[in-house]
Amino acid sequence: MDLLKGGSYSVFLERVKMTSVASDMYEMVMQFPDLLTKLKMDQDTKETCIRLGNNGLGGVVTLGMGGSAIAGLYVQALFLDSSPIPIIANREYILPKYVDSNWCAIAVSYSGNTEETLTACNEAIKRNCRLFTVGSGGKLSQKSESLNKIKIPGGYQPRAAFPLLFSAVLNLVECLLGTEPTDLAEISETLSKRLAQWENSRLAPRTVAQDLAGKIPVFIGSRDLVPVAYRAKCQINENAKGMAFFSQIPEANHNEIESFVDKNRSNIKPIFLRSSYEDARIKKRIDITTSLYEEEGFSPVRLSIESSSKIEEMLALTYYLDLVSVELAHIRGVDPLSVERISRLKGELG
Ligand code: F6R
């Protein structure tokens, strides 16, 4: 097959028996572990990726917005200290100048119709990047330049389709880099078991959501957990229609820390996402930061989930915080599924 032009138009990920699409956001989030295992990369896609990788890639750029950008952000964080080539998540109409024909672009849009993603994708095509597309349909699925069009089942909200989008992007990037594929089935099983443990713990999603009601959470992560903190903020925004922020250590130690003072305390709730993979300096920074916030009268929550790999930790925390966001929506009496303002804005932009 001609790698530059793209040739094959079949469905490139074999779909394993699909769970029926849920009708509400809670059900969709409950499918999280299951959805992680629903897409399998087929032989043709694998061979295409291996060939591209062997030919020497300049880098990999994911293109996507909102819920469809998260997979790229997770993969960017996961490979930050191991990939010999840049892996970057682009959330813009434009592409960095250094993205050229040696790069591979993975355009992700659940609807397939997101303006910024389509514009960046057209630019990637213009620059002769190797292109993969991931989505459930729309204009993106009609790009003939795509080497492999990865078809995601429709009917979900894009943010709820994250496990599907993530597994597709991870499979592609691991294959392009020639690294050992992650066993998502094993992680999926672990996550299903975790649910029962969480429900019976002091930090049951509903309990944490109750604690967040009327507060503005600031999710604080480090390294791999920075995109997890960002995802949590977006889920509170979109599902619970609540204000939320995210930040990252060490950077927040050089600015934001000055704002965590008694007089700003009223309804700010710092939530530290703690990782088992923190190195000594990061651990010490987060411990000191937590104490400083406590001294100023804040009541930080520390969240950590024991896991056997960084990727499992990221996904477990994401699943847990997705549940918290839906519980919070119920407490606030809002529909976690609706995205009226996002749709209105897209409509007005035409
Ligand atoms: C909606 C959501 C949004 C969309 C974004 C881009 O559930 O999460 O953030 O993901 O507006 O749209 P898509 O994903 O269709 O490219």
254 is catalytic: yes
Distance from residue 159's CA to the centre of ligand 1 (Å): 6
Residue nearest to atom 1 of ligand 1 (CA): 158
Binned at pLDDT 50, 70 and 90, residue 140 comes out as very high
For the CA of 64, the closest atom of ligand 1 is 16
Residue 4, pLDDT > 60, answer no
Residue range 202-239, pLDDT digits in tens? 889 999 999 999 999 999 999 999 999 999 999 999 99
> What's the token pair of residue 209?
């959501």
- Is pLDDT of 18 > 60? no
pLDDT on residue 266: 82
How many whole angstroms separate alpha carbon 38 and alpha carbon 17? 7
Please name the fold of domain 9-21+184-332.
Rossmann fold (3.40.50)
pLDDT at 12 over 70: no
Atom number, ligand 1, closest to the C-alpha of residue 108: 16
Task: Name the percent of the chain lying above pLDDT 70.
Answer: 93
pLDDT of residue 21: 61
- pLDDT greater than 70 at residue 325: yes
Please calculate the CA angle 181-186-187 and round it to the nearest 5 degrees. 90
Q: What is the pLDDT of residue 312?
A: 98
Quickly name the fold that domain 34-177 has: Rossmann fold (3.40.50)
For residue 10, what pLDDT band results from cuts at 50, 70 and 90? very low
Q: What separation in Å is there between the alpha carbon of 293 and the centre of ligand 1?
A: 34
284 Cβ contact partners less than 8 Å away, ≥ 6 residues apart: none
Tell me the three state secondary structure of residue 283: helix
pLDDT tens digits, one per residue of 157-185: 999 999 999 999 999 999 999 999 999 99
- Could you tell me the distance, in angstroms and rounded to a whole number, from the CA of residue 165 to the centre of ligand 1? 12
Q: Residue whose CA is closest, atom 2 of ligand 1? A: 67
Annotated catalytic residue, options 254, 263, 340, 348: 254
Asked, colleague to colleague, whether 9-21+184-332 and 34-177 share their fold, the answer is yes
Q: What is the greatest pairwise CA distance in the chain?
A: 64
Give the Cα separation of 210 and 204 in Å (integer).
10
pLDDT tens digits, one per residue of 91-136: 999 999 999 999 999 999 999 999 999 999 999 999 999 999 999 9
pLDDT for the residue numbered 5: 32
38 is catalytic: no
Domain ranges of the chain: 9-21+184-332, 34-177
What's the mean pLDDT in 23-48?
Answer: 93
Token couple for 5? 């032009």
pLDDT at 202: 86
Over range 226-255, report the average pLDDT.
98
5 is catalytic: no
Residue 3 has pLDDT above 50, yes or no: no
With a Cβ cut-off of 6 Å, ligand 1 is lined by 65-68, 109-111, 114, 117, 157-159, 238, 339, 342
Q: Report the separation in Å between the CA atom of 109 and the middle of ligand 1, taken as the mean of its atom positions.
A: 7
Q: What is the pTM of this model?
A: 0.94
Residue 6 pLDDT more than 50? no
C-alpha of residue 338 to centroid of ligand 1, in Å: 12
Average pLDDT rounded to a whole number, residues 65-76:
98
In the chain, what percentage of residues exceed pLDDT 90?
Answer: 89
* Rounded Cα gap, residues 52 and 46, in angstroms: 10
Q: Atom of ligand 1 at shortest distance to CA of 65?
A: 6
Nearest to 305 by CA among 313, 315, 296, 297: 313
In ligand 1, the atom with minimum distance to the C-alpha of 160 is 7
Atom 10 in ligand 1: residue holding the nearest Cα: 67
Question: For residues 23 and 149, which has the higher predicted lDDT (pLDDT)?
Answer: 149
Residues 315, 185: contact at Cβ < 8 Å? no
Q: How far is the CA of 320 from the centre of ligand 1 (A)?
A: 20
pLDDT of residue 14 exceeding 50, the answer is no
Per-residue pLDDT, averaged over 1-10, amounts to 30
Name the average pLDDT for the chain.
93
pLDDT score recorded for residue 9: 28
Which among 116, 145, 174, 238 is annotated as catalytic?
238
pLDDT, position 49: 96
Instruction: Say if residue 293's pLDDT is above 60.
Output: yes
Tell me which residue has its CA closest to atom 11 in ligand 1: 66
- The tokens describing 252, both together, are 């927040």
